[in-house]
Amino acid sequence: MDIALDLGTANTKLKINDDSIAIDEPSVIAYDVETNEILAFGNEGYRMLGRTSKRISVVFPLEGGVIAESGLVEELVNIFLCEICTSRVVMPRVVACIPGEITEVEKRAVVNAISSFGVRRVLLIEATKAAAFGCGLDIMSAHGNMLVDMGAGTVDIAVMTLGGVSAGKTIKNAGNAMDEEIIKYARRKHNLIIGKAMAKSCKESIACVIRPEKELVFRLKGRDALKGLPKWVDVTSTEIMQVIADIGVGIINGVVDVLEETPPELIGDIHTDGITLTGGLSQLIGMKELLEKETGIKIRQSKNPADAVVNGCFKATSYIDEAEAQKDTLNPLMMVY
Ligand SMILES: Nc1ncnc2c1ncn2[C@@H]1O[C@H](COP(=O)(O)OP(=O)(O)OP(=O)(O)O)[C@@H](O)[C@H]1O
Ligand SMILES: [Mg+2]
């Protein structure tokens, strides 16, 4: 059995066959701080976010695409793998994605979290390569493909050719950082304390990186910082655009930096084919248009952007046999266990 795993900062996805995604749930775990007992995870855990007593802690154990709390990630991965591995007779082989810029220690933490379940093999693939496979790009030929995967913890940018990354960058200010800015803004400007889920919902509903054609309004609900009573404030897309502008600029600059480092022949290919966008955050209003304007290159938005990485990890399982046989052929997978 081969399993594709996208262990994302915001969402974890698993796939075991071509037809559908078996698991797609928030990377959240809720536990009792006194007994350490796991109380909820995934969708149920997310519903508890900001709504628990002091005794329960609800955490996203990944930050910036890497493991922040290893014990909890291990628990989460084990729960999800248990759900789909009905038979424990055959140990699965797992292809998991990692950000482009990751340390050996961080890489090892991902491998350890997965192997603690008892697997036959763990193979890693860079998120951008996986996303490219997921979108049907041919990154194994001598042709340049550029892809930007925009998630909650990272924006991964890469120019790929011959199964490898020719130029790339990982930016750690992504969707979550925008949520944090919205939380800080509500407090600073409106004396309103809001939770993470409210900020995320505001971003997904009205945030934009270019002046909106139609002004949208979102009602932020929370607590008055001075009076301690319930309070709501209506904010507009133009207002939120200014709040997240610096993070948007950081992403655009990252893409431009990578283009500047790209060999000229590959730039030619990218100019012809365009840049592909994947990841949940690529759906932010105006992101495609802004990137197009700032780079002068056509931007292609993938159909189900948040599923590209797990779809690609699953396609990459077809390279496992070759990787295991250690054949001297181009292989996008890194074999680690
Ligand atoms: N319509 C939308 N508009 C703006 N942002 C969105 C939208 N839908 C989802 N997002 C954001 O996309 C992010 C989640 O995307 P995704 O599932 O690709 O991230 P992830 O894989 O968990 O994170 P990472 O790859 O950084 O580890 C969240 O920040 C979410 O708020
Ligand atoms: Mg991701």
* Phi, psi for 226 (deg, rounded to 5): -95, -50
Ligand nearest to the CA of 175: 1
Answer whether 24 contacts ligand 1 (Cβ < 6 A): no
Q: Are residues 147 and 295 in the same domain?
A: yes
Q: Whole-angstrom Cα distance, residue 60 to residue 49?
A: 10
Q: Are residues 183 and 102 in the same domain?
A: no
Identify residue 306 by its one-letter amino acid code.
A
Average pLDDT, the chain: 94
Tell me, in angstroms, the distance from the centre of ligand 2 to residue 190's CA. 32
Probe residue for ligand 1, chosen from 5, 7, 9 as the CB with the greatest number of ligand atoms within 8 Å:
9
Answer whether 92 contacts ligand 1 (Cβ < 6 A): no
Tell me, in angstroms, the distance from the centre of ligand 2 to residue 275's CA. 17
Tokens encoding 202:
């505001």
Answer whether 113 contacts ligand 1 (Cβ < 6 A): no
Report CA-CA distances (Å) from 257 to 13, 143, 171, 262.
30, 20, 11, 9
64 pLDDT tier (thresholds 50, 70, 90): confident
Mean pLDDT of 12-41: 94
Q: Whole-angstrom Cα distance, residue 72 to residue 54?
A: 18
Q: Are residues 106 and 175 in the same domain?
A: no
Q: Are residues 171 and 244 in the same domain?
A: yes
Q: Are residues 46 and 78 in the same domain?
A: yes
CA dihedral 290, 251, 27, 129 (to 10 degrees): 90
Tell me the CATH number at 118. Answer: 3.30.420.40
Q: Are residues 128 and 166 in the same domain?
A: no
Ligand nearest to the CA of 12: 1
Q: Are residues 187 and 327 in the same domain?
A: no
Identify residue 114 by its one-letter amino acid code.
I
Q: Are residues 196 and 222 in the same domain?
A: yes
Are residues 173 and 161 in contact, defined by beta-carbon separation less than 8 angstroms? Answer: no
Ligand nearest to the CA of 307: 1
Q: How many domains does the chain have?
A: 2
Give the range of the structural domain holding residue 238, as residue numbers without chain letter: 141-301
DSSP 8-state symbol, 53: -
Q: Are residues 91 and 209 in the same domain?
A: no
Place of tokens 């900020």: 199
User: Kind of pairing, strands 230-236 and 62-63?
Assistant: unpaired
Tell me, in angstroms, the distance from the centre of ligand 1 to residue 154's CA. 9
Beta strands in 172-272 (DSSP E): 192-193, 217-224, 230-236
Q: Are residues 172 and 280 in the same domain?
A: yes
pTM: 0.95
**pLDDT for the residue 298:** 97
Tell me, in angstroms, the distance from the centre of ligand 2 to residue 34's CA. 32
Answer whether 42 contacts ligand 1 (Cβ < 6 A): no
Mean pLDDT of 111-128: 93
Q: Which of 290, 289, 310, 309 is nearest to 156 (CA)?
A: 309
Q: Are residues 123 and 229 in the same domain?
A: no
Is pLDDT at 322 greater than 80 in this prediction?
yes
Ligand nearest to the CA of 152: 1
Is pLDDT at 328 greater than 80 in this prediction?
no
Q: Whole-angstrom Cα distance, residue 218 to residue 124?
A: 40
**pLDDT for the residue 326:** 81
330 pLDDT tier (thresholds 50, 70, 90): confident
Are residues 6 and 76 in contact, defined by beta-carbon separation less than 8 angstroms? Answer: no
Q: Are residues 37 and 101 in the same domain?
A: yes
Q: Whole-angstrom Cα distance, residue 134 to residue 288?
A: 19
Q: What is the Cβ-side half-sphere exposure of residue 15, based on CA atoms within 13 angstroms?
A: 23
Answer whether 286 contacts ligand 1 (Cβ < 6 A): no
Minimum mean pLDDT range among 101-115, 214-228, 245-259, 307-321? 101-115
Mean pLDDT of 142-149: 97
Answer whether 247 contacts ligand 1 (Cβ < 6 A): no
Answer whether 278 contacts ligand 1 (Cβ < 6 A): no
